Structure 1
């Protein structure tokens, strides 16, 4: 069982006090915190040891940061399975931590860190004794009294208090004199004014208990743990250190993709009495909220399982079922699983990751129903049915709809909405479809659906929308739920039949009686990249009072999201719960950066060469961006294959997004706009954005309405691709950029090929 870790203000202040050291060793600090969550005791990586008792009578433990040879420690206390980090630093913090305790005031519902005032000896709330903003941070770990005890006179203590960095100390060498300068340097470097040997001896004396085991939890421990994990705790008790965020941003992109900002914590731990919705525009962290919620639900299940194990008689209701994290995009579940397992509290096997079609196929097989999704025969069946129904003079023929649009109407609307009878199809609002259809055309469309079903039946095959419908029927007959909770990511691209299927799995045997915390839906209608659509109300799901709107963009720089929003325009969006204008859902970015870049490469082959050169230059110039942090997204599979071949020819590592499973590596990721859905990269390159290549110009055989609907869908796809970029966005084209970008070029910097601009840089 994993441990819950809480970081106090005193911990972050001690990190800040050793800022230069912390920046150098922050990766080690992150690893130590992760190890504490997994195994704080009997762990050779931590070498946890007892160092005495605090004022509250609880044992104090210290764990190595950076291995046994390092002199840096994290000092903490334990309350059952909750670790409270109190201080970070060298061995000197062992003495200081003994004057710290934690108190809970039930009247004001506040947990407070209490520290002994080194001047008066009286207790005071830690935050009241903190150094004011602007005070020096270099010696923050020591009080004025302690500095005087080390032999520094009052007038030097005043000067030392102003220091922020060790280079400022070097500038004071003459003022301090040789002896005081050496002692101050030793204090900063080793934690003891007499140097390294004295610090090591002091540490040896202080490490009272070697290789301890977890102490038994007391009733007070359990009460403290409950208070510490209360989601209503005041925000000042734990905070996110800005420099610490910088370190996370410098680590592999997979670490960033699971970072939960404190402001998102409430959405993770909120309890719902029915289905709930988390929505927000690109970059607001819907997926990371979902992953952390999955971990929280799994931990709750773990506690419930332990409680039921003590019962002499157990019923079917006592069975703890897994959490399901699912999506419509088939390449995302292995990515999400790998990201989830990076979470400190995550254990394998408690959360299932699967995409909807795979899950539907499994449910059919378990019901002894063996669907065969042979796509070649499915296509053949549709062509035969089409020739039978869409004949010269028929309403569908005269409508001007393309064969593709007609097929999508059947798969995305009729079957996607789980419509069983013609009368229902004649009455529904075709959400997501902008081309009007009268009842005569709909009637003929229904005839084509029936003819297609007949042809598929004769061939013994089934299309994926049919498998979802079959799985929905089986799920509605289940006697027990298969999952304790289901989290649906990218829900705007799932069909209504797919969502009803998931709802039945978690609510069985009463598929329409929603369980508390049963179904969480994550989505953004502005990022829909597949035809069709529906609203939650059409699906019979009510989320009023259970909707969380994320309105801060943690991913993209302001320059990237502003360029993407300008490109997409202020178009109407049909959301899952309500309709709105795209600009109304804009989230505020928290970071700024360089403007995205547009590069005129001249021709397609030159684009590929330019792409390789710029990736090589970027990863060499920016130490925070490695090849594995770079994504190349293209409008179509043909261009994807060319890009992969060219990168391989340059002897660089490359990986198709079809094969990416979320585990960090040093390979450049390449895929289509669709395959980039749900992912993010530090740097994104978008080649192939040339006029009349993307979006594709409408063919003369398409109606204006159909062409407009297709154009808006392609704009949404480009918006998704652009917003995969966290820090760097580069668009490549030949001579004239895409017509989707021509009116927003002011949001971009512009360059020609590196070959003609040898001094050009990425940033």
Structure 2
């Protein structure tokens, strides 16, 4: 029987099919694996045949049904290894296969693919332009230096014609993935030694099974390319992979991800950053697996900001650990707030009721009015959150002398005294009512753990996902839950997705990640067109990193996937806009996208409700996302923007992107009150829209009625 290897490009093709077509692909794969090579050639059902005039003579196809073909790479070295590389409609399968060439990189010895026909067509055109160009993009690097990074002769010829990043991007889906990534990082200003370390070294040390090496060059190259190719050793392993609902980006850890997730050890807290879709959550899950396997008695806390994300983490970890209850029993997956409640209950009794956001806002506004203060309730709430709770201030004397980091309004001694009076009264009233806020609960839990060493919950390792949304009070709790030392804290996050108003300096909290940081730059979820369009929404404003001390950038952040540009349309009325969204969703469904792979979101509940009713009237099933992705339910997902965080869909429609919704004035502090908080609030508004748009993998539709948001001003130039 033949041996099968499956590439990530194959899984991406499967992922674009509807459920019945996927089932037929799985059936064809199972049948293929159970046949001998002579039977494969003789079988009229699968119909294994060569691709005439292909640039790679090893290209073959097999039949799934009348309209669908699997493209695969046949062995030419005496082995029985077939590599499944793509699945697509009949005509597209042959066109795709004819143009592509698979080779083994001379430096990394990994298997790679290029669209050789397209490269040969584009390179001469760019060469003509290069003759008149004053500067070429890669002039600063010699041929020797580029070859050292794995750039082969074909790619080198193309690189020597490139005058700018726009031309380099044109090669994005044509060049071998690793070679293009090396050139892209050089163009972004990264040092060649960094590129060699991050891209080349990790591939060169990839282990090769001796049996694979003995079978021939193709099998050995496949064995080295485990970041993009899964080698199937038998029918049971194939059935196991097909039964797991892991997306391709979760099955295949990129070398940069694997190097981080399975690093033997960090000497202290480690911080992993990266834009949407770069696999930060997957890295966090694999890090948990590594920590569990390294020590049979270790206890791990896996935590994040919201309950929806913890459910997603719990499900992903169960799949990754093959539902091994012994391993899962050593991991606590919960929110920081839930952990604070548990800690207080264990060490100090039941904490009482937790105040809701609306009730808290009303209390602050009432206090501002009753005390005749010159500030509104929002200002007092922010002062309490960002100064008192952030610095764990317990007395007026501490507040009078503290540095109000991140606040843009100066307060003199008399003003601080009046502000403290209001904040102290707020705490007294809550204490009288036996209630508290979530952040107060986190601060109390951290103090209890500090004052009662050896008591309460504790862990050997803490892994934090979506770290950018945590408040200093929550960080103090996490710091108190794990002893300082190697592999104590492992943090993943993206400051460009900071949608909750958290301002943190980890260093001031005793969490130093200096020298133990890494950045993920390759998006595995969305197309480059969606990323470029969405990134323009951020407006190019500087963003502070997770430590709170340095600026963070999306430099080098990109995707190898390509598709249609996002569509942004305006309408005269909200009703007309809703009709347009329904038409767009119906078009997606007609094109073969399952309703559950489509999300429609808006800022306000009234708008999502109205669109949901229109979709239902059009005969489309609808599911309301209230707190995370509902499992096993068919229907178009209708959601608020906040509830989409941590989820992804093939197609996303973001409605109601109007001037009154983005920015939403209620959520933005007036510049006259506090210019720094005003800027922070505006950035959070931009991030919220950015997060919603980057949930889309293949198609993004954005709409508005009336005046569009000023955030859309820059997207027209993001072509």
Name the TM-score class by shorter chain.
0.5 to 0.7
Kindly state the Cα deviation for residue 429 of structure 1 after the two structures are TM-superposed.
5.1
Partner of 2:521: 551
Q: 2:292 aligns with which of 272, 289, 298?
A: 298
Whether the 8 Å contact between 1:573 and 1:579 is mirrored in structure 2 is no
Partner of 2:259: 266
Partner of 1:90: 35
Q: Distance in 1 between matches of 2:433 and 2:230?
A: 60
The alpha-carbon distance between structure 1 residues 605 and 478, as it changes in their structure 2 partners (threshold 3 A), is: farther
1:283 aligns with 2:269: no
Whether the 8 Å contact between 2:504 and 2:547 is mirrored in structure 1 is no
Partner of 2:623: 655
Query: Structure 1: any 5+ residue segments left out of the alignment?
Result: 1-9, 33-64, 74-88, 95-131, 148-163, 169-228, 305-319, 508-513, 749-763
1:239 aligns with 2:225: yes
Partner of 2:686: 715
Kindly state the Cα deviation for residue 500 of structure 1 after the two structures are TM-superposed.
1.4
Whether the 8 Å contact between 1:564 and 1:719 is mirrored in structure 2 is yes
Q: Deviations over 1:456-498 (max 9, x none)?
A: 1122211111111111122332416632321111111111111
SS at match of 2:689: helix
1:332 aligns with 2:309: yes
Q: Distance in 2 between matches of 1:165 and 1:387?
A: 68
**Map of 1:222-233 to 2, 5 A cutoff?**
233=206
Q: 2:355 aligns with which of 351, 365, 375?
A: 375
1:467 aligns with 2:467: no
Kindly state the Cα deviation for residue 437 of structure 1 after the two structures are TM-superposed.
4.6
Q: Distance in 2 between matches of 1:640 and 1:443?
A: 45
Partner of 1:410: 384
1:505 aligns with 2:450: no
The alpha-carbon distance between structure 1 residues 639 and 361, as it changes in their structure 2 partners (threshold 3 A), is: farther
**Map of 1:529-678 to 2, 5 A cutoff?**
529-577=499-547, 579=549, 583=553, 585-621=555-591, 623=592, 625-661=593-629, 663-678=631-646
Query: Structure 2: any 5+ residue segments left out of the alignment?
Result: 40-53, 61-71, 81-90, 96-201, 209-220, 232-237
Partner of 2:714: 743
The alpha-carbon distance between structure 1 residues 92 and 436, as it changes in their structure 2 partners (threshold 3 A), is: farther
Whether the 8 Å contact between 1:381 and 1:455 is mirrored in structure 2 is no
**Map of 1:111-510 to 2, 5 A cutoff?**
134-138=56-60, 233=206, 237-239=223-225, 255=247, 258-263=250-255, 264-270=257-263, 271-301=265-295, 304=296, 320-343=297-320, 345-348=322-325, 349-350=328-329, 351-375=331-355, 378=360, 381-389=363-371, 391=372, 394=373, 397=374, 401-426=375-400, 430-438=404-412, 440-476=414-450, 477-479=452-454, 482-507=458-483
Q: Distance in 2 between matches of 1:669 and 1:712?
A: 27
Partner of 1:225: none
The alpha-carbon distance between structure 1 residues 506 and 403, as it changes in their structure 2 partners (threshold 3 A), is: same
Give the TM-score of the pair, scaled to structure 2: 0.66
Structure having the higher helix fraction is 2
Kindly state the Cα deviation for residue 533 of structure 1 after the two structures are TM-superposed.
0.5
**Map of 1:27-38 to 2, 5 A cutoff?**
none
SS at match of 2:710: coil
Q: Distance in 1 between matches of 2:470 and 2:387?
A: 12
SS at match of 1:683: strand
1:72 aligns with 2:32: yes
Q: Distance in 2 between matches of 1:19 and 1:655?
A: 30
Kindly state the Cα deviation for residue 382 of structure 1 after the two structures are TM-superposed.
3.7
Corresponding residue pairs, total: 540
The alpha-carbon distance between structure 1 residues 504 and 253, as it changes in their structure 2 partners (threshold 3 A), is: same
Q: Distance in 2 between matches of 1:429 and 1:717?
A: 29
Q: Distance in 1 between matches of 2:413 and 2:555?
A: 35
Whether the 8 Å contact between 1:655 and 1:670 is mirrored in structure 2 is yes
The alpha-carbon distance between structure 1 residues 15 and 661, as it changes in their structure 2 partners (threshold 3 A), is: closer
Whether the 8 Å contact between 1:382 and 1:452 is mirrored in structure 2 is yes
Kindly state the Cα deviation for residue 166 of structure 1 after the two structures are TM-superposed.
11
Partner of 2:114: none
Q: Distance in 1 between matches of 2:609 and 2:687?
A: 23
Q: Distance in 1 between matches of 2:30 and 2:618?
A: 41
Whether the 8 Å contact between 1:690 and 1:737 is mirrored in structure 2 is yes
Whether the 8 Å contact between 1:528 and 1:716 is mirrored in structure 2 is yes
Q: Distance in 2 between matches of 1:551 and 1:503?
A: 28
Q: Distance in 2 between matches of 1:374 and 1:442?
A: 27
The structure that has the greater radius of gyration is 1
SS at match of 2:385: helix
Kindly state the Cα deviation for residue 289 of structure 1 after the two structures are TM-superposed.
0.9
Q: Distance in 2 between matches of 1:272 and 1:502?
A: 18
Kindly state the Cα deviation for residue 441 of structure 1 after the two structures are TM-superposed.
3.7
* Greater Cα shift, 636-645 or 273-282: 636-645
The alpha-carbon distance between structure 1 residues 628 and 466, as it changes in their structure 2 partners (threshold 3 A), is: same
Kindly state the Cα deviation for residue 712 of structure 1 after the two structures are TM-superposed.
2.5
The alpha-carbon distance between structure 1 residues 731 and 429, as it changes in their structure 2 partners (threshold 3 A), is: farther
The alpha-carbon distance between structure 1 residues 692 and 444, as it changes in their structure 2 partners (threshold 3 A), is: same
Partner of 1:161: none
Kindly state the Cα deviation for residue 346 of structure 1 after the two structures are TM-superposed.
4.7
Q: Deviations over 1:273-314 (max 9, x none)?
A: 21111112222221111122222323334xx2xxxxxxxxxx
SS at match of 1:544: coil
Whether the 8 Å contact between 1:253 and 1:681 is mirrored in structure 2 is no
Q: Could you say what the CA RMSD is over the residues aligned between the two structures, in angstroms?
A: 4.3
Partner of 1:209: none
Partner of 1:729: 700
SS at match of 1:283: coil
